[in-house]
Amino acid sequence: MKISFIGGGNMASAIIGGLLRQGLSAADLHVVEPFAAGREKLAREFGVAVSAQADAALAQSEVIVLAVKPQQMREAVAPLQAQLDKQLVVSIAAGIRLTDLSRWLGGYARLVRCMPNTPALIGAGITALYAGNSVDSTERAAAERVLAAVGRAVWVEDEALIDPVTAISGSGPAYVFYFLEAMQEAGREFGLPEATTRELALETFIGAARLAAQSPETFASLRERVTSKGGTTAAALQVMNEHDMKAAFIKALKAASNRGRELGVEMGKD
């Protein structure tokens, strides 16, 4: 499978590295990267072909991955129209709706929209994908292979669900870091050494996530198992419940989802 990337930043680099580890040849990869330093780094680290602008290599690709910032997307895809024939175009840009992307590409419809998250940078990401009606099962499999190079991949059957996905998993790492910050600050107030608190907090999150992943029980059941009546965990959860933290967190996720929808509308304006 020959793949071209428009944009060679961190996420594109993560996917390229993952594809190479899975056995794809560097000769089958091509990156359009406008910055010379970026081109030099990609060529040096991965041995892939690079170019400063769209060229004939795009026409030879089976998949084109759009890995530029959302604000740059319209300008970045403008040169592609002349190169598109039967390639699958995969966008990993947050907020860009397929109707707008198709319009910018002159009505091209073989499109997949994806929402990865930053753990993809270490191969531990989770990506949600949505395919337009013109994408067949073979092309869906190709898109999934590309994103599975950096972690798990799941499909949603309604593009409107990408905004909630963005709220849950796209922005999700920030919520984890937020709670880690709080735990570290508490450790500081307790008088624990910073390094010790960091290790305790990190390993707790990692261990709890692994336990949940390997258990058939619900998250609620796992929480109840740790919560002895009248114990320390119950005391902490009582404070959280008094402050209605769960409701506040759900409200925050809804705000993120709504903002994602708003950004899509804003960036899709002519």
Residue 234, domain member (yes or no): yes
What pLDDT, in 10s, does the model give residues 205-222? 999 999 999 999 999 999
- Say if residue 9 is in the same domain as residue 140: yes
Q: Which residues contact 193 (CB under 8 A, 6 or more apart)?
A: none
Residues spanned by the domain of 69 = 3-163
Share of the chain above pLDDT 70, in %: 100
Which pLDDT score, from 0 to 100, does residue 28 have? 95
Instruction: Return the closest-CA partner of residue 95 out of 129, 73, 72, 70.
Output: 70
Give the residue, 147 or 269, on which the prediction is more confident. Answer: 147
To which H or E segment does residue 88 belong?
A: strand 88-91
Per-residue model confidence (pLDDT) at position 269 = 79
| Contact criterion met (CB below 8 Å) for 1 and 142 | yes
Please give the tally of structural domains in the chain. 2
Residues 138 and 229 grouped into a single domain: no
Find the mean pLDDT for residues 107-136: 94
List CB contacts of 1: < 8 A, sequence separation 6 or more.
24, 28, 62, 63, 142, 145
Each residue's pLDDT tens digit, 225-262:
999 999 999 999 999 999 999 999 999 999 999 999 99
How far, in Å, are 9, 83, 89, 211, 248 from residue 204 at the CA level?
A: 31, 50, 40, 10, 23
Q: Is the pLDDT of residue 106 over 80?
A: yes
pLDDT surpassing 90 at residue 81? no
Q: Percent of the chain scored above 90 by pLDDT?
A: 85
Separation of alpha carbons 26 and 10, rounded Å: 17
pLDDT value at residue 132: 86
Which of 109, 144, 163 is the last residue before a domain boundary? Answer: 163
**Selected residue with higher pLDDT from 188 and 94:** 188
pLDDT of 224 over the 90 cut: yes
Instruction: Clarify whether residues 46 and 90 are in a common domain.
Output: yes
Closest CA to 89 of 126, 56, 129: 129
Q: What SS3 class is residue 145?
A: helix
Single out the residue in 100, 128, 163 at which a domain terminates.
163
Query: What average pLDDT does the chain have?
Result: 94
Q: Are residues 114 and 246 in the same domain?
A: no
36 burial (CB, 10 Å; 0-12 / 13-18 / 19+) is exposed
- CATH code, domain with 203: 1.10.3730.10
Burial readout 224-244 (b: 16 or more C-beta within 10 A, e: otherwise): eeebeeeeeeeeebeeeeeee
pLDDT value at position 57?
A: 80
pLDDT at 48: 95
Last residue of a domain, one of 163, 187, 217: 163
Phi, psi of 111 (to 5 degrees): -130, 145
Q: Is the pLDDT of residue 165 over 80?
A: yes
What is the DSSP pairing of strand 88-91 with strand 29-32?
Answer: unpaired
